[in-house]
């Protein structure tokens, strides 16, 4: 599968955009500009961009509670997403739901969930609806490693295979469920759990956007063609804490620094330069991402807070 230069630069721009977006959210959360808890995906940008770019616009997406990057990759308006997280009337859901529960009807993002595992029964319902309507869409259900040690995950896999539902389960294995390392909770890789249900699986380096895109694209094609589920496990690492105010005391500094050497953005930029893509084009991509963030910040800052009335339509 050949990836053209234009698409490679789009990958880079989206990853940079997601990282800058998340760091801006972090600043706002720590300064009190954003209320409530936010969960950031710094370090997981390649997972969002590589997998999201393999989907069609009409495919349904159920993001995780750490899903800003997954939404941006699918095409969610950055201005409206930031405004929503800041509780502004101009947000995706008019400032009513914030970071963990946003949805974006225009891009078939059918809702992030604050309860871990809640996405699985929702994915089953969406997959069944696609099947009964005889649509050619698929459902992409994102989740983390910490979600796979409870019943809803297994029930979801069972029903998806039993009913032949067009669902791609996308696991971003960032090693930690809140503050607990995955190795302390289970000795089985997540893709092996799916194989118990005879579900087609694959794995990918969560820091390699092109590998993720290629492998996810093949599974998307399989799910769409065969109307059956599949699962891909992406091995990544979240650089920041579980939430914005988590200082990560449970993680060795050496571990964090070792994973930062695998930075999906820095390493991809170096790869593109080595392939002959000009530094000027890469600088243009960086400038474009920065401009989008500045525009989003201005838009959200200038937007009013909701005026709560009896009319609560979204």
What letters, b where the CB count within 10 A reaches 16 and e where it falls short, cover 138-154? Answer: bbbbbbbbbbbbeebbb
Q: 7-20 pLDDT, tens per residue? A: 999 999 999 999 99
Residue 236 has pLDDT above 80, yes or no: yes
Q: Give the range among 43-57, 153-167, 177-191, 286-300 with minimum mean pLDDT.
A: 177-191
pLDDT band at 36 (very low <50, low <70, confident <90, very high): confident
If one compares 308 and 91, the residue with the highest pLDDT of the two is: 91
Q: What is the mean pLDDT of residues 75-85?
A: 97
Q: Give CA–CA dist 54/82, Å, rounded.
A: 24
Q: How confident is the model at residue 310 (pLDDT cuts 50, 70, 90)?
A: low
Residue whose pair of structure tokens reads 């739901």 in the numeric block: 97
Average pLDDT taken over every residue of the chain: 95
**Is 60 exceeded by the pLDDT of residue 314?**
no
Longest dimension (CA), the chain: 59
Q: What would the pLDDT profile of 115-127 be if each residue is shown by its tens digit?
A: 889 999 999 999 9
Rounded Cα distance between 34 and 257, Å, is 28
Q: What predicted TM-score, i.e. pTM, was given to this entire model? A: 0.95
Give every CB contact of residue 187 below 8 A, 6+ residues apart in sequence. none
Enumerate residues 6+ apart whose C-beta is below 8 A from 234.
47, 50, 51, 170, 171, 172, 173, 203, 204, 205, 206, 212
> Mean of the pLDDT values across residues 27-35?
92
Confidence of residue 278 (pLDDT cuts 50, 70, 90): very high
Q: Which residues pair with 139 in a beta bridge?
A: 60, 167
Q: Report the alpha-carbon distance of residue 264 to residue 207 in Å, rounded.
A: 5
Distances (CA, A) of 210 to 43, 101, 252, 265, 292: 15, 29, 29, 12, 24
Q: How far apart are CA 208 and CA 196, in angstroms?
A: 27
pLDDT exceeds cutoff 80 at 311: no
- Asked if 142 and 119 count as a contact pair (C-beta separation under 8 A), the reply is yes
Using DSSP, state whether 29 is helix, strand or coil: helix
Assess whether pLDDT exceeds 70 at residue 312.
no
Structure tokens at 76: 């969610």
Give the H or E element holding residue 140: strand 139-144
- How far is it, in rounded angstroms, from Cα 72 to Cα 85? 13
**If pLDDT is split at 50, 70 and 90, which confidence band does 313 have?**
low
Give the span between the Cα atoms of 305 and 17, in whole angstroms.
25
Residue 141 CA to residue 143 CA, distance in Å, equals: 7
Listed in sequence order, the residues at least 6 apart from 146 whose beta carbon sits closer than 8 Å to its beta carbon are 116, 176, 177, 178, 180, 182, 185
DSSP line for 50-72 = HHHTTS-TTSEEE--TT-HHHHH
- DSSP reduced 3-state for 142: strand
Whole-number Cα distances in Å, 91 to 69, 191, 202: 16, 36, 36
SS3 171: strand
């Amino acid at each position: 599968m050949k990836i053209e230069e234009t698409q490679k630069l789009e990958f880079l721009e989206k990853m940079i955009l997601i990282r800058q977006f998340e760091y801006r959210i972090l600043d706002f959360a720590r300064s009190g500009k954003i209320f409530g808890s936010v969960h950031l995906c710094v370090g997981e940008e390649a997972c969002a961009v590589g997998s999201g770019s393999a989907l069609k616009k009409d495919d349904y997406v159920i993001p995780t509670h750490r899903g800003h990057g997954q939404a941006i990759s699918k095409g969610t308006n950055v201005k409206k997403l930031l405004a929503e997280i800041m509780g502004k009337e101009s947000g995706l859901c008019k400032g009513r739901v914030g970071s963990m529960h946003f949805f974006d009807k225009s891009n078939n993002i059918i809702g992030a969930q604050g309860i871990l595992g809640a996405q699985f029964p929702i994915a089953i319902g969406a997959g069944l609806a696609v099947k009964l309507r005889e649509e050619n869409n698929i459902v992409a259900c994102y989740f983390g490693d910490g979600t796979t040690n409870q019943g809803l995950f297994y029930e979801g896999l069972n029903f998806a295979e039993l009913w032949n539902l067009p669902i791609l389960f996308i696991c971003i294995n960032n090693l930690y469920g809140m503050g607990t390392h995955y190795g302390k909770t289970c000795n089985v890789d997540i893709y092996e759990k799916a194989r118990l249900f005879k579900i087609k699986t694959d794995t990918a380096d969560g820091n390699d956007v092109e590998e993720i895109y290629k492998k996810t694209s093949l599974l998307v094609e399989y799910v769409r063609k065969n109307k059956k589920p599949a699962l891909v496990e992406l091995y990544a690492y979240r650089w920041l804490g579980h939430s914005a105010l988590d200082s990560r005391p449970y993680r060795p500094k050496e571990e964090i620094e070792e994973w930062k050497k695998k930075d999906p953005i820095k390493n991809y930029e170096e790869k593109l330069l080595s392939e002959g893509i000009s530094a000027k084009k890469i600088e243009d991509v960086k400038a474009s991402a920065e401009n989008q963030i500045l525009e989003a910040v201005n838009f959200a800052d200038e937007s009013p807070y909701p005026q709560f009335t009896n009319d609560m339509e979204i």
